[in-house]
Amino acid sequence: MAEKIAIVLAAGEGKRIKSDVAKVLHPLCGVPILHHVLNRLTHLRFARIFVIVGHQAQQVRESVALYDVTCVLQSEQRGTGHAVLQAQNALSGVNGSVLIVNGDAPLLSDETIMHLWETHHLKKETVTLLTALLPSAAGYGRIIRDDNGNICNVVESADATPEELRVHEINAGAYVVDLSFLFPTLSTLTSHNQQNEIYLTDIVRAAVQKGISISYYQTPSTSESLGINSRRDLARAEAVLQQHIVDGWMDKGVTIIDPNAVRIEATVTIGRDVVLYPGVILEGHTHIGSGTVLYPCRIRDSHLAERVVVRDSCVIDGADIASDVSVGPFAHLRPGTQLHSKSHVGNFVEIKKSKLGAGSKANHLSYIGDADIGKNVNIGAGTITCNYDGIQKHQTRIDDDAFIGSGTQLVAPVHVGVGTVIGAGSTVTKDVPPQTLAIARARQTHLPKRPKRP
Ligand code: UD1
Ligand code: CA
């Protein structure tokens, strides 16, 4: 089969989304709209992918930097036909056909793109369209057929007659077109239409005028052709994709007690026998190991190993949590937190850039920042690592089997040795040797009570 080439249209501003951010960069289930499209094409092994950029070109280029794609600039956004034309030089001398897809169509499936591509190539067609039958076709280009049922035109909503607006078959915004037809034809198109744009879709009428018949693949799905133009479309797409994601994880052995009450971004992975209670939000590059139970919490860019329990109202961001750990309720784990196996973090504990060794516990009301804590350490209620002197952050080191009494302040830099006990209420400012009992608090004195005023 011919080399697979694709052009992705991503230069438009997306006026209808009313945003300072280019439309194709808006996240959908945590991933920019455009990346969903590029992921499909990469997965389908398109060898050369051209992304047409224009509005906020620099931001779009940066966003796709990790993909093996070539960005082509459309300096003025004069319509989808004009956008495709920008790839003409890059493709000069290339034979065969090219897939063209809107960068705002993130729900198209691999199967649909493959069917479209194969429909075109099996019959050696010139132009093949992806169409869909929608109950509500508002806003889409309508597929107009002649008396014999052959496609003869695509009419944009803005240009359509009332009769054409009643058509339910729409242009889904993906096409395969023979290169020897595409660029010569695009060069002849005008912008005599309501939007004063050069429409890619006008190649259909141009082909028919030349006696070339139009082929098509109609997807049976009513949701995957969704093009994102507005915030409402974005929310609709989010709902559709969430449903796919949630169904996918349930099929892989995850218990989701109320599938409508969790949010799982597209980049998250989840092991078997995980239980998700209502109110769980999983974001970014997060992995949840098998057998883990999550009560309502938000977890982002974190790795949780097996059989972890996270109780209600925790926020976990950038943490690495080993097996059999329990966290929460009401814990805040910030980037750089490492909890080793069987450690416990309880209520109202905040941890940042710190390691809590295997079997260690910080169960109540603590702040632990920039600390390296060994195994089987007990951090008493209300312990605080005073890691910041107003200018710099300093390290606290607590070795294995130490016991930090409640209400202790560890003024960093400070090192507490193996097996040491710190008396409750201490303010520790000096290193404490191993196997020591350290008490650093004012001695309690008892003074005679002042007599009451008469
Ligand atoms: C387009 C189709 C319409 C189809 C719908 C499917 C045209 C003329 N119309 O309409 O038939 O039903 O998609 O969702 O193609 N873009 C550029 N440069 C431009 C203009 C647009 O790169 O100058 C990009 C946009 O960033 C977007 C894509 O092309 O990703 C489609 O543009 P958009 O304005 O959203 O077209 P629609 O009106 O939705
Ligand atoms: Ca669109």
Q: Which of 364, 394, 415, 446 is catalytic?
A: 364
Backbone angles phi, psi at 93, to 5 degrees: 85, -5
Q: Among 15, 52, 80, 127, which is best to mutate for testing ligand 1, by the most ligand atoms less than 8 A from CB?
A: 80
Q: Is 285 a catalytic residue?
A: no
pTM value is 0.95
Which residue, chain included where needed, has tokens 């190539």? 121
Burial class (CB in 10 A: 0-12, 13-18, 19+), 451: exposed
Burial pattern 383-409, b for ≥16 Cβ within 10 A else e, equals bbbbbeeeeeeebbbbbbbbbbbbbbb
pLDDT digits (tens, 9 = 90+) for 127-145: 999 999 999 999 999 999 9
What is the average per-residue pLDDT within 379-385? 98
Q: What is the CATH number of domain 231-438?
A: 2.160.10.10
- What's the CA gap between 286 and 29, in Å, rounded? 13
* Contact 9 CB / ligand 1 (< 6 Å): yes
**In the prediction, which pLDDT does 454 show?**
79
**In the prediction, which pLDDT does 128 show?**
98
**In the prediction, which pLDDT does 65 show?**
98
Q: Which ligand is nearest to the CA of 76?
A: 1
**In the prediction, which pLDDT does 38 show?**
98
pLDDT digits (tens, 9 = 90+) for 218-255: 999 999 999 999 999 999 999 999 999 999 999 999 99
- CB-based contacts of 362-368 (< 8 A; 24+ apart in sequence): 368/396
Contact 266, 57 (CB under 8 A): no
- What's the CA gap between 213 and 199, in Å, rounded? 19
Query: Of 125, 223, 131, whose CA–CA distance to 176 is shortest?
Result: 125
Backbone angles phi, psi at 83, to 5 degrees: -60, -45
pLDDT digits (tens, 9 = 90+) for 293-314: 999 999 999 999 999 999 999 9
pLDDT digits (tens, 9 = 90+) for 27-86: 999 999 999 999 999 999 999 999 999 999 999 999 999 999 999 999 999 999 999 999
Contact 309, 326 (CB under 8 A): yes
* Contact 170 CB / ligand 1 (< 6 Å): yes
**How is residue 277 written in tokens?**
């209670």
Indicate whether 11 pLDDT > 80.
yes
**In the prediction, which pLDDT does 189 show?**
97
CA 264 / ligand 1 centre spacing (Å)? 29
Closest protein CA for atom 37 of ligand 1:
140
CA 220 / ligand 2 centre spacing (Å)? 20
Which residue, chain included where needed, has tokens 């063209």? 100
Can you give the residue ranges of every domain in the chain?
5-225, 231-438
Nearest ligand 1 atom to alpha carbon 77: 23
What is the average per-residue pLDDT within 87-105? 97
**In the prediction, which pLDDT does 452 show?**
86
Nearest ligand 1 atom to alpha carbon 172: 6
**In the prediction, which pLDDT does 407 show?**
98
Mean pLDDT score of the chain: 97
Q: Helix or strand or coil: residue 23? A: helix
Instruction: Please state whether 183 falls in left (phi above 0), alpha (psi between -120 and 50) or beta.
Output: alpha
Nearest ligand 1 atom to alpha carbon 154: 11
What is the average per-residue pLDDT within 416-439? 98
**In the prediction, which pLDDT does 2 show?**
67
Indicate whether 1 pLDDT > 60.
no
pLDDT digits (tens, 9 = 90+) for 176-185: 999 999 999 9
- What's the CA gap between 87 and 320, in Å, rounded? 45
DSSP tag of 38 = H
What is the average per-residue pLDDT within 189-198? 96
Report the CATH fold assignment for 5-225: Spore Coat Polysaccharide Biosynthesis Protein SpsA; Chain A (3.90.550)
- What's the CA gap between 262 and 246, in Å, rounded? 8
